[in-house]
Amino acid sequence: MNTQTTPSPQFYLTAPAVCPYLPGEMERKVFTHLVGPRAAEMNDLLTQGGFRRSQNIAYRPACEACRACVSVRILAGEFEPTRSMKRVISANRDLIATVQPAQPSTEQFALFRRYLDDRHQHGGMSDMSALDYAIMVEDTHVNTRLIEYRIREPGSGLSKQPQGELIAVALTDMMSDGLSMVYSFFNPKYEKRSLGTFMILDHINRARSLGLPHVYLGYWVKGSPKMDYKTRYQPQEQLMARGWERSLPPATDSDD
C-alpha cells in the first residue's frame, strides 16, 4: 500500500523592506512556491485567500503594524459600467483582442519597455531586460494567458494572424472562479483611450461570458492615491478578517 502523501506547501517570510505604496511604512510578505501538478489548484485556493501570483511565487502582505493592503475582486455578473466607462468602451471599439499562450514576443517587450520608461522609471521593474520579461511571462505552472489588444486594420478580420498595432497586453490567470489580472501594460501615447480601464472592463465581460463570477484585481491600498481606481468597479468584494465582504461604493465622478 502506498502511504506517501502529497507534500503541503512551505511558507516563508521576507525580511522588512521599504513599502512602495505608503511613505514611512515597512512591508513584509509571506510567500510559497507554485510548482508541481497541484500548482493550478493551489493558485486558486491562495488567490481566494488573498494571495497574488508573481512568476511561480504566491505571496501576500504580512506587515506587522499595517493592514492597508486589501484584496479586491469584482462581481462580474452584477457589474454595470458607469457613463464614463461606457465612453471608454466606445473609444476602443476599433480594438481587436486575441488570447495567446503565455509566450513572450519582441513586440510585447518593446511595448512593455515603453510603458515602464513612461510610467515607472524609478519602480522596482524599471531595469527589466528582455530575459526578465520572458521569465515574468513564461515562469508559470498555472493556466496563464496573454491577451493582446491591437488597433484593427481594414480586412484584418479575414486573417488568421492578428493584424494592426499592438497597444496593450494583459497577463492573466484563468482560474476556476474567475480571471486574475496578474499584470497589464499599454502604449502611453494612447492616454485618451484609458487603456487600463478598458482592459479591466474587457476582463469583466470575458469572465461573464465564461460564466465565472469574479475578476481579481490584486490589492487596493488604503491611503495610496494610485490604487484608488480599483474601487471604481462595483459591486466588488474585499477580503476582510471575516472573509470576503461587499464594499461600499466610493463617491462617483461628476460625469457618472
Report the distance separating Cα 233 and Cα 180, nearest Å.
Answer: 15
Average pLDDT over the chain, rounded to an integer:
90
- Domain ranges across the chain: 12-68, 80-212
Q: Tell me: pLDDT of 100 over 60.
A: yes
pLDDT tens per residue, range 159-216: 566 679 999 999 999 999 999 999 999 999 999 999 999 999 999 999 999 999 999 9
pLDDT, position 156: 59
pLDDT, position 9: 84
Q: Tell me: pLDDT of 252 over 60.
A: no
Query: Which pLDDT band holds residue 5 (cuts at 50, 70, 90)?
Result: very low
* Percentage of the chain exceeding pLDDT 70: 89
How big is the chain by its Cα radius of gyration, in Å?
Answer: 19
Q: What kind of fold does domain 80-212 have according to CATH?
A: Aminopeptidase (3.40.630)
pLDDT, position 69: 95
